[in-house]
Structures are given as structure tokens and as C-alpha cells.
Homo-oligomer: A and B are copies of this chain.
Amino acid sequence: MYDLIVIGAGPGGYIAAERAGALGKKVLLIEKEHLGGVCTNWGCIPTKSLLNSAKHLVYGKEASQFGVHFDNPVFNFAEAMAWKDGTVETLRKGIAFLMKQHKVEVVFGEATFPGGKTVVVEGKSYQGANLLLATGSSAFIPPIPGADAPGVLTNREILSLESLPRTLAVIGGGVIGVEFASFFSSVGVDVHVVEMMEEICPMMDAQVASTLRKEMSGVTFHLGARVEMVGTDSVTYSREGRQTVIEADAILMSVGRKANTAGLEALGLDVERRGIRVDEKMRTNVPGIWAVGDVTGQSLLAHSASRMGEVAVANMFGAGDRMRYHAVPWAVYTLPEAAGCGLTEKEALGRGYKVKTASVPMRVNGRFLAEHGRAAGFCKVIADGDTDLLLGIHLIGAVSSEIIGTAAAFMEAQLRIKDIKEIIFPHPSVSEIIKDTCWGL
């Protein structure tokens, strides 16, 4: 009898297992494929490894403005993929080490659920006082003719390509789509992004999204484009009644994710369209069964999953905690990077706040100017005019992904704009643009 059985070793599951193990609980972690889940193996980590290679290529080419010159830039795709594989492998080993360190038992294999809190893996039964479902999500394949053909790539298959395509069509201009588009276009591939909406990345503040799209000047964006057919080497879409065919020797499907809920039927869970229903303690409707991460459909981000895992464990074993979604940052590791936390301007207006906003372009920031000159980028802060509370911070340019954690801290600590004005940021740093923008409110 285990105190806790965790299904799925992604960032929700393995963090939960680690935290429970650290409390001295008897924990079993079941994984059908690789430790780290989609994040480590086919998501966050491999894409950031490849984008790191692309950034080195682009930065090397741009270095002459700083007095640094290189000849003959060459991108070796196989070597970049090998670096990516090495990074993934090291992190998987790191998770295995963490599990050992916290005395978490790990079993590999597909779990089946006969009912109750029993889990069967390869014929062997395991019993838990608690069951934590962290089964994640998979690429959603839309019901479009040809979309499910074997040649159509998802985030998984594209990470095993053996050579660079000449032309890549990306169906879906969300985070996954634009990151791959940024990588492939930076290394010389002709990339087309086909997006049904009139703008990419709907979770972004509209100004950030349009700036990002314009800055990704190597990519051709087809907006408001409804895909009608996917061929082996073409994508056909219509816009305002006119059909367009994009020829491409590789096609990436990245229109969304679907929760992995198949096989859980015997558990008697409330499963909604977006995933397993949970409360703020990460409890499902069945006592002793918990769910975290993408399978809940709540916030499809690795760091949300990890935090949900911590919340679930805290509630299971007495400390208590609750999941809060208002201060979850996101980051997109394109060239340039974009990041945000909290409400967009449109969301804030939609919720009836007396919205006040301020924006500061990055090119007035000393460090940005020293390192990027007059490149695009800005910080936008959204606040509640009635209470002076911070509602959202949105960034594009430089290392936005490393700065946005500060915004998450502000929102979690419920700081007001006047409080942020008193915080001392290091000079010169891009991060101080947050404070400077708050002074504009």
C-alpha cells in the first residue's frame, strides 16, 4: 500500500512525487515512456535547446555592429539535434536521481485502472491511499481531411527530423507553432504559419502579438486562414472565399492540445471537455483521487503543472494550499522572446476594471540599447485605476523570459503600482523597465 501513486512523470507528476517523497511518504511513480514527460522530452526542453542554437547563429551574424566579426556561418542541424538530445538525456537522468534521492519507486509501463485506487501495470497491481493523475496532453488533430496522415508532424515527430526541410508549413500560430517557426526560419528554412484567427498567440496582449509577428520577418504568416485540406506536401486554406495552396516538404500540426483522459473511465471522474474537473486543492470528485497539469485543462504550462503537483501533495498530507492562476507567467522563446503574467488589456477591460496602462519601449533602456540598439521590444503594464493593483505585465524583447518571474512575484504578493515604484532594480538591466513603466502610470 502506497501513500501516493502518481501516474505520469511530467513536471506535474514528478514534482508531486518528489515533494511527497521529501515528506517521507511511500510513493510510486508510473510512467509509460520517459521521465520528464512532454516537457522534458518533446516540449519545453528540446525546443529551448534548438532555439539556443538558432540564437547563437543569429547573434553571431549580427555581431559585426559590436565590432565582432565572423566568416562563413554554418548551421549543422545534426549537431544541434545531438546537443538537444544530450540536454534531454541529462535532464531525464537528473529526474531519475531526484526520485532515488527522495525514495520514490519508479515503474515504467502503461497503467490501467480497474477502479478505485488500484493501478495495474503489466499485470501487476498497486494500491494507493491516494492516486494522482498527471497524464498530460497530446497534440490535438483537427477533423480536417489529411490532418491525420502519417507524414503530418506534431511536436513529437518534428523533434526527430533527420534533415532540415526546405519549406515548413506550420498549422496553428500558438506558442508551439511560433517557437518552431522561429527556430526553423532562423536557420534558413522557408516557413509558413497558417492561423485561423486574425492574430497569432491569442493569450498574448494584442500589442505583443503583433510586434512578435512583425519581428519574425523571416516567416510568412497566413492569418484568418481556415485549413481545408492537408496533403502530403501541401496545405490548402481558404480566406474570404479564396483558396490558397502552400507547398511544403514538412507540415507541423500545432493547433492545440487535448487532455489524456482515455482509459480512466472506471474511476468515475467528472471529465469535462477540456479535462478532468478539479477544485483549487486539485481534488477530483472522487475522494483520494487528484489530478494536476494538462489533464485538468486548466493552465497548459509545465510550471503550472508543477505548482499543482505541490498543491495536491500539500493538501493530501495536511499542510494545505490552494492553486492560484492569476499569477502564472508564460514565456515564448522566439527571437525575440516574449513573456507575460496576469491579464491582457483586453481581458482587464472585459472584466470591468477601470484599466490604466503604460508602455515603455526597450530602446530607451540603457542595457537594451547597449546590447540590442534600436531593436523592437517594450514593456506594458496594466493596472486597476481604482485600487492601483497590478493586473498584468507584458514584455517583448531581450531575455523577457528571465525577467517575467519578477512580475509573477509582484502579482502573487498583491503589490500595488506605488509599491513597485519603490523596488530597486539593478542598473543597467532590462528588468528595470518594469519599474520605469510603472512610473508612467
Which A residues are within 8 Å of any B CB, using their own CB? 11, 39-40, 44-45, 48-49, 52-53, 56-57, 59-60, 63-84, 87, 90-91, 94, 301-304, 306-307, 310, 321, 327-331, 339, 364, 366-367, 369-371, 373, 398-399, 401-406, 408-410, 412-413, 415, 419-432, 434
A20 to chain B, nearest CB (A): 13
Please, which residues of chain B bring their CB within 8 A of the CB of A406?
Answer: 405-406, 409
Please, which residues of chain B bring their CB within 8 A of the CB of A94?
Answer: 364
Once the chains bind, are A424 and B366 in contact (CB under 8 Å)?
A: no
Once the chains bind, are A48 and B371 in contact (CB under 8 Å)?
A: yes
Please, which residues of chain B bring their CB within 8 A of the CB of A57?
Answer: 63, 68
A66 to chain B, nearest CB (A): 4
- Option from B59, B401, B429 in Cβ contact (under 8 Å) with A331: B429
Once the chains bind, are A66 and B53 in contact (CB under 8 Å)?
A: yes
Please, which residues of chain B bring their CB within 8 A of the CB of A364?
Answer: 94
Once the chains bind, are A73 and B65 in contact (CB under 8 Å)?
A: no
Once the chains bind, are A366 and B40 in contact (CB under 8 Å)?
A: yes
Nearest 10 Cβ contacts at the A-B interface: A67-B79, A67-B80, A70-B70, A405-B431, A303-B427, A56-B63, A53-B66, A49-B370, A71-B71, A302-B427
Please classify the interface of chain A as helix (H, G, I), strand (E, B), loop, or mixed, using the class held by over half of its residues: helix
- Option from B64, B370, B421, B430 in Cβ contact (under 8 Å) with A402: B430
Once the chains bind, are A424 and B45 in contact (CB under 8 Å)?
A: no
Please, which residues of chain B bring their CB within 8 A of the CB of A68?
Answer: 53, 56-57, 60, 73-76, 80
A396 to chain B, nearest CB (A): 14
A77 to B79, CA, bound (A): 32
A339 to B53, CA, bound (A): 26
- Option from B45, B67, B328, B432 in Cβ contact (under 8 Å) with A428: B45
- Which B residue sits closest to A340, measured CB to CB? B426
Please, which residues of chain B bring their CB within 8 A of the CB of A11?
Answer: 427
